[in-house]
Amino acid sequence: SQTIHQWPATLVQPVGSPLSLECTVEGTSNPNLYWYRQAAGRGLQLLFYSVGIGQISSEVPQNLSASRPQDRQFILSSKKLLLSDSGFYLCAWSNRGAGNNSPLHFGNGTRLTVT
Amino acid sequence: KNQVEQSPQSLIILEGKNCTLQCNYTVSPFSNLRWYKQDTGRGPVSLTIMTFSENTKSNGRYTATLDADTKQSSLHITASQLSDSASYICVVSAIGGSYIPTFGRGTSLIVHP
């Protein structure tokens, strides 16, 4: 069966420090991968998505970047965190072969607090 | 612009009662609509998918409806339980293009004993 791992679960970082969140998927190949952010009491905002290794699309201009060094690995990074980067970060995958009929499968998220 | 609007924003009900959550969308051309349940501090999980030709679909105590003409969907929860307390998110996908569905902001449901 397919699983998605996302870590760490919680993170407290000072303003100006770097960030690296990692997400890996097991049990499937060639997935679509996504990074979402959810501010308190708000909906999910798509940050990045990827349809293949090295292929990253950014949905909003921001202080963050993403990379996909391997087929089932998706990394969210920042060189210098801002207070506004605080939030709940969710990684997700979908089955590219199923197209829009595939649900998004989410990890359990990372709660990031920038102080 | 593709949009998904959900109502109410939040809802409080007593255990054992029924409730209905609403979703209106302007996503076009329509492919499918999913309802997700998001427990606090967790990622969303898909409850049900509705395609153009489907009007009603049930998953246990959850029943989703779709009216493709009016572009509305509802999620009905029967005999609510404390574990139903969560955010319920309506997500709509369009035909073709990239695999990026449009998310509603969710309805926060609290079930009190």
Compute the C-alpha angle A22/A48/B52, nearest 5°: 115
Across the interface, do A104 and B46 touch by the CB < 8 Å criterion?
yes
Q: Is there a contact between A51 and A96 (Cβ–Cβ < 8 Å)?
A: yes
Across the interface, do B42 and A109 touch by the CB < 8 Å criterion?
yes
Q: Which of A73, A42, A76 is nearest to A59 (CA)?
A: A76
> Residue A12: what are its φ and ψ, rounded to 5°?
-120, 120
For B18, other C-beta atoms within 10 Å of its C-beta total 12
The confidence band for B99, taking pLDDT boundaries of 50, 70 and 90, is confident
The confidence band for B9, taking pLDDT boundaries of 50, 70 and 90, is very high
Chain A neighbors of B91, CB-CB under 8 A: 104
The confidence band for B97, taking pLDDT boundaries of 50, 70 and 90, is low
Q: Which of A105, A89, A42, A46 is nearest to B44 (CA)?
A: A105
User: Residues B33-45: pLDDT tens digits?
Assistant: 999 999 999 999 9
On the question of pLDDT at A38 being above 90, the answer is yes
Percent share of chain A, pLDDT over 70: 99
The confidence band for A2, taking pLDDT boundaries of 50, 70 and 90, is confident
Q: Across-strand partners of B20?
A: B76
The confidence band for A12, taking pLDDT boundaries of 50, 70 and 90, is very high
Q: Across-strand partners of B72?
A: B24, B67
For A79, other C-beta atoms within 10 Å of its C-beta total 11
Q: Which of A110, A114, A92, A94 is nearest to A102 (CA)?
A: A94
CA A6 to centroid of chain Cα atoms? 8
Chain A positions touching chain B (beta carbons under 8 Å): 32, 42-44, 46, 49, 51, 57, 59, 88, 90, 92, 94, 96, 99-104, 106-109, 111
**How near does any CA of chain B get to the CA of A101, in Å?**
7
Chain B neighbors of A39, CB-CB under 8 A: none
Q: Nearest by CB to A32, from B41, B43, B99: name it.
A: B99
Chain A neighbors of B29, CB-CB under 8 A: none
